[in-house]
Amino acid sequence: MAKLRVHAFSISLDGYGAGPDQSVENPLGVGGEELHEWVVATRTFQKLYGQSAGTTGVDDDFAARGFENIGAWILGRNMFGPVRGAWPDDTWKGWWGDNPPYHSDVFVLTHHPRASIRMAGDTTFHFVTDGIHAALERAKASAKGRDVRLGGGAATIQQYLRAGLIDEMHVAIAPVLLGSGEHLFNGIDLTKLGYRCGEHVPSAAATHVVLVRT
């Protein structure tokens, strides 16, 4: 059965998945880019942007696992861009340029309708206005038996966690303190929701934890 999976979601030592004050200049919030230094250096990440270099080892292994058997993605609106409220126009097409790294259908949660956007590399953004269950249903249909990856952000992951819909979740704990921002597990009792730690692997740049639902 197809799974809903979270991979390579980075949090700080104090539990924040993004820093405060997200903007075009700081898409991950102030200080948020430090959370992702472990993955940016990997060969898997570098290949997404046409580079042949990059590190191998534990961090790269976890980064690569996040693309195995993935047929579609779900993103919260903040992961797609900093625009708030009704879409003012069709100018904004994501943070990633003309060829985003998804290469599949991506379902973006929003309260405001917008026509789908087809990008280079077989990425198409679809905007879903009728909630998390509808987005998951559409993503699973698009994935055709493969798994769906939930990209975030923190608020979107929280919604799917509370609904008991996430089957597997890889969190990378970076050796960084943010102090404020978007806290991933605030108010969530993972044990009551049926999650346990399935893997716990440290590297020089992060501590990798995989939560699975029993």
Instruction: Identify the band that residue 150 occupies on the pLDDT scale cut at 50, 70 and 90.
Output: very high
CA 75 to CA 123: how far, in whole Å?
A: 13
CA-atom Rg of the chain in angstroms? 16
* Whether the predicted pLDDT of 120 surpasses 90: yes
- pLDDT tens, position by position, 49-77: 888 899 999 999 999 999 999 999 999 99
Q: What is the mean pLDDT of residues 142-161?
A: 96
Q: What is the pLDDT of residue 81?
A: 87
Query: Between the CA atoms of 210, 188, 154 and 61, what dihedral angle is there, to the nearest 10 degrees?
Result: 0
Domain ranges of the chain: 4-85+98-213
Q: What is the pLDDT of residue 25?
A: 83
Instruction: Identify the band that residue 145 occupies on the pLDDT scale cut at 50, 70 and 90.
Output: very high
- pLDDT tens, position by position, 1-45: 899 999 999 999 999 999 988 788 888 888 999 999 999 999 999
Question: Using CB atoms within 10 A of its CB, is residue 55 exposed (0-12), middle (13-18) or buried (19+)?
Answer: buried
Q: Residues near 204 by Cβ (< 8 Å), separated by ≥ 6?
A: none
Secondary element (H or E) of residue 109: strand 105-109
Fold for 4-85+98-213, please state it: Dihydrofolate Reductase, subunit A (3.40.430)
- Of 12-26, 104-118, 140-154, 180-194, the one with minimum mean pLDDT is 12-26
Q: What is the mean pLDDT of residues 87-94?
A: 90
